[in-house]
């Protein structure tokens, strides 16, 4: 698995991987690249440069991909000397901060509602970041992400392996979630979720899973860490993924390709198949020699083969696990 860029943190996780029946995906950074860019700015009470300037400063300390997109839209924020203070990050909503003499709130509609700001919706498909300055609505920024090239392939591969339930969870708005789900052929998805909501959905899916089957959650962000830990097996993106997600996960995909999930399941199933072959072969040969010994037919060489010979053949058979296509 490691040769294919898949880090499995323990042999017990192979047992779980081989019996996965439900796969739950986070969207941003997992099925999509997580590399956002500003595609539109709609203004209310200030000019575009001022709005992007303040939003970039508020997101200065954020590790979220959306924060990076806002900083990229106004690259001069790192050198213009503005003072940032009273930074408050609200999970699942956004960030509040004081930039010079302006109190700025940058986030989603839940943040705007919590501070009593009347926001305006947008007809564009994308992630909408609302901005309030000194208690007044200043406008919103449209940010878009790109679906990974192998995300659709990953969904199809999992279905071909018999994974009967594939679900997408996202904190993004309904229009964005629906657009991604349709492009990937997903019929079950849930949108506008906070980190705690994702845990609740995973709890429900765990209760609904088939007997003898396991649930895998695939994510990359710090907000995914609780869900990764709660799932039967957590799979994290190792390239762009946060340290918290990688630490909480049981399996790490080092190149961030979701198609590697199906490959990990194939490797797990193949490994367990080879292990069972060795078990039954060893037990079968030893029982056969014992039966022959009971009738006085077995020889010393048969006993040696049942012991040393079976071990050598089992090791040689196990070496087949080192070679996997994909």
Catalytic residue among 26, 220, 224, 232: 26
Tell me if 220 sits within 8 A of 245, measured CB to CB.
yes
What sign for the dihedral angle of Cα 253, 257, 258, 262?
Answer: negative
**Catalytic status, residue 26:** yes
- Rounded CA-CA distance 172/165 in Å is 21
What sign for the dihedral angle of Cα 91, 93, 98, 100?
Answer: positive
- C-alpha dihedral (250, 256, 262, 267), degrees to nearest 10: -60
- Rounded CA-CA distance 12/275 in Å is 13
- Rounded CA-CA distance 273/268 in Å is 9
- Rounded CA-CA distance 310/303 in Å is 10
Tell me if 37 sits within 8 A of 143, measured CB to CB.
yes
Q: How far is CA 46 from the centre of its chain?
A: 37
- Rounded CA-CA distance 118/109 in Å is 9
Residue (of 124, 108, 118) closest to 170 by Cα position: 108
Q: Which residues are catalytic?
A: 26
């Amino acid at each position: 698995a490691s040769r294919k860029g898949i880090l499995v943190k323990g042999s017990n996780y192979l047992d779980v991987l081989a019996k996965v029946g439900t796969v739950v995906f986070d969207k941003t950074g997992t099925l999509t690249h997580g590399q956002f860019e500003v595609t539109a700015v709609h203004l209310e009470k200030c000019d575009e440069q001022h709005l992007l300037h303040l939003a970039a400063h508020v997101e200065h300390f954020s590790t979220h991909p959306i924060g990076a997109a806002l900083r990229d839209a106004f690259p001069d924020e790192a050198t213009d000397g503005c003072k940032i203070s009273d930074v408050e990050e609200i999970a699942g909503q956004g960030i509040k901060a004081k930039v010079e003499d302006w109190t700025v709130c940058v986030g989603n509609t839940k943040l705007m509602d919590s501070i009593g700001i009347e926001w305006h919706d947008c007809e564009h498909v994308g992630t909408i970041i609302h901005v309030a300055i000194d208690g007044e609505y200043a406008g919103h920024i449209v940010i878009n992400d790109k679906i990974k090239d192998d995300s659709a392939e990953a969904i199809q591969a999992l279905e071909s392996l018999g994974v009967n339930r594939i679900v997408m969870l996202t904190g993004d708005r309904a229009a964005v979630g629906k657009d991604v789900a349709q492009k990937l052929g997903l019929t079950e998805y849930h949108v506008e979720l906070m980190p705690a909501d994702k845990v609740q959905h995973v709890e429900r899916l765990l209760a609904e899973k088939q007997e003898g089957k396991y649930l895998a959650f695939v994510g990359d962000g710090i907000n995914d860490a609780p869900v990764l830990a709660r799932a039967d097996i957590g799979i994290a993106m190792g390239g762009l993924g946060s340290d918290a997600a990688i630490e909480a996960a049981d399996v790490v995909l080092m190149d961030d390709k979701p198609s590697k999930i199906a490959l990990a399941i194939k490797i797990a199933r193949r490994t367990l198949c080879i292990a069972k072959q060795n078990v039954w072969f060893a037990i079968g040969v030893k029982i056969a020699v014992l039966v022959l010994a009971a009738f006085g037919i077995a020889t010393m060489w048969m006993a040696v083969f049942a012991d040393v010979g079976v071990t050598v053949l089992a090791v040689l058979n196990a070496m087949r696990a080192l070679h996997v296509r994909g």
